C-alpha cells in the first residue's frame, strides 16, 4: 500500500521546495519527492509530489510543508491520497515513447529498436532504478557525451557515479569501446538492474577494457572506485547538494585535464555547483540546458595552469 501527498504552487515555489529538500540533512528518505509541471501547456503551474509506503503522519505532512518555509507566499495546501498497490516508479515510466539524444536511441521493450545508421540503440525497461533516458537530465547527458566525443575527447578510464539503470555507463562504453568502466549506486537494487540491462544491450560485465564493473557505493567513498582511478571521465547525474559536496572528491579522482560530466541540478542551482567545482580545480568546458536542468562539462586544470 502506498500514499501520495501533492501540493500545487507556482514553479518558483516548487523549485524552492526541491532545493530545501536537498538541504534538509534530517530528511526521512522513505519519503520520495519530485516536482513537475501540471501540464505541458501550463509551464508556470507546478506540483510537488511525495510518495510514501505508509499513511502520512502529521509529522510527515509537517516536514513537507516546511519545505515551503522560505517562500514569502503562504504554503500550498497538501492533499493526501491512497494509491493502488503498484511500483509507482515503474508505473510512471510505463509506455514511455522512445527518445533520441545525440547519437543514442533509447526505448522501453514496448517499442522497436532503431536501425538508423550511426545510432546506438538501447533497450531500457521501466524498473526500480532511475535513468531510462526520458528524464531531461539523462537525455541531456547523452547529448553532452555525444558533443564531447565529437570534440575529440578520449576516454580510457571512466566512472559513472549514481548510475541507476547503467545507461550513461553503457553510452560511454559505446562511444569509447576500449575504456575501463566502473558504475556505482548507493541503492543495492541497482546491481541487478544494471546486470539485466547490460545483458539486454550487449554490454560485457567484468574488469577488462570494454567491460563494466558494478559496485554499491555512497558517492566516491569506495575502495574499488579509489583503486580503479584516476579517471579520464567521471559522470554524475544525481542532485545539486551531493554534487557540491562531492566536488573535491571528483577533482582528486580525475587525471590532469580529465573530464567531469554533471547533471541533476536545476539552472537555479548551477552557480553553487560551478563554484564548488572551481574550488576543486575544475573549469567549465561547455554547458547545455535540458528543460529546466543544467548539464555541465567541466575539465580538471593541468598542473601548469593557474
In the 8-state DSSP scheme, what is residue 233? E
Name which residue leads in pLDDT, 297 or 85. Answer: 297
Cell of 90: 515503474
Residue 306 has pLDDT above 70, yes or no: no
pLDDT at 276: 95
Helical axes 240-253 vs 11-23, angle rounded to 10°: 50
pLDDT at 273: 94
pLDDT at 92: 46
Indicate the average pLDDT of the chain: 87
Give the residue-averaged pLDDT of 214-234: 95
Q: Give per-residue pLDDT as tens, 7-50.
A: 999 988 988 888 888 777 778 877 878 887 887 677 788 998 88
List of domains in the chain: 2-85 (3.30.70.100), 93-300 (3.40.50.150)
Q: Are 219 and 246 in contact (CB under 8 A)?
A: yes
Residue 90 has pLDDT above 60, yes or no: no
pLDDT at 40: 67
Q: Rounded distance, CA 37 to CA 44, Å?
A: 7
pLDDT at 38: 82
pLDDT at 25: 73
Q: Give per-residue pLDDT as tens, 227-283.
A: 999 999 999 998 888 999 999 999 999 999 999 999 988 888 899 999 999 999 999
pLDDT at 19: 81
Provide the total of helices (H) and of strands (E) in the chain, helices listed first. 9, 15
pLDDT at 34: 80
Strand order in the sheet with 99-101: 99-101, 104-107, 120-123
pLDDT at 93: 47
Q: Give per-residue pLDDT as tens, 143-177.
A: 999 999 999 999 999 999 999 889 999 999 999 99
pLDDT-derived band at 214 (thresholds 50, 70, 90) equals: very high
Amino acid at each position: 500500500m502506498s500514499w501520495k501527498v501533492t501540493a500545487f504552487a507556482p514553479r518558483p515555489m516548487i523549485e524552492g521546495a526541491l532545493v530545501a529538500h536537498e538541504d534538509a540533512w534530517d530528511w526521512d528518505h522513505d519519503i520520495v519527492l519530485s516536482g513537475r509541471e501540471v501540464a505541458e501547456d501550463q509551464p508556470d503551474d507546478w506540483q510537488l509530489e511525495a510518495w510514501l509506503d505508509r499513511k502520512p503522519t502529521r509529522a510527515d505532512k509537517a516536514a513537507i510543508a516546511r519545505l515551503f518555509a522560505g517562500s514569502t507566499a503562504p504554503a500550498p495546501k497538501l492533499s493526501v491520497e491512497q494509491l493502488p498497490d503498484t511500483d509507482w516508479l515503474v508505473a510512471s515510466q510505463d509506455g514511455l515513447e522512445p527518445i533520441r539524444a545525440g547519437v543514442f536511441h533509447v526505448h522501453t521493450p514496448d517499442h522497436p529498436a532503431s536501425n538508423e545508421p550511426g545510432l546506438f540503440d538501447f533497450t531500457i525497461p521501466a524498473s526500480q532504478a532511475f535513468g531510462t533516458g526520458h528524464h531531461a537530465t539523462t537525455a541531456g547527458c547523452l547529448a553532452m557525451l555525444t558533443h564531447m566525443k565529437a570534440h575529440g575527447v578520449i576516454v580510457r578510464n571512466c566512472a559513472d557515479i549514481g548510475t541507476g539503470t547503467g545507461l550513461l555507463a553503457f553510452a560511454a562504453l559505446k562511444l569509447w569501446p576500449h575504456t575501463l568502466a566502473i558504475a556505482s549506486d548507493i541503492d543495492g537494487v541497482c546491481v541487478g538492474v544494471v546486470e539485466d540491462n547490460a545483458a539486454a544491450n550487449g554490454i560485457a560485465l567484468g574488469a577488462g577494457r570494454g567491460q563494466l564493473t558494478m559496485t554499491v557505493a555512497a558517492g566516491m567513498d569506495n575502495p574499488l572506485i579509489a583503486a580503479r582511478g584516476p579517471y579520464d571521465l567521471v559522470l554524475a547525474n544525481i542532485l545539486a547538494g551531493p554534487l557540491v559536496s562531492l566536488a573535491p572528491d571528483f577533482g582528486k579522482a580525475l587525471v590532469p585535464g580529465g573530464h567531469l560530466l554533471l547533471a541533476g541540478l536545476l539552472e537555479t542551482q548551477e552557480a553553487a555547483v560551478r563554484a564548488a567545482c572551481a574550488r576543486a580545480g575544475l573549469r567549465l568546458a561547455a554547458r547545455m540546458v535540458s528543460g529546466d536542468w543544467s548539464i555541465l562539462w567541466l575539465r580538471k586544470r593541468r598542473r601548469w595552469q593557474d
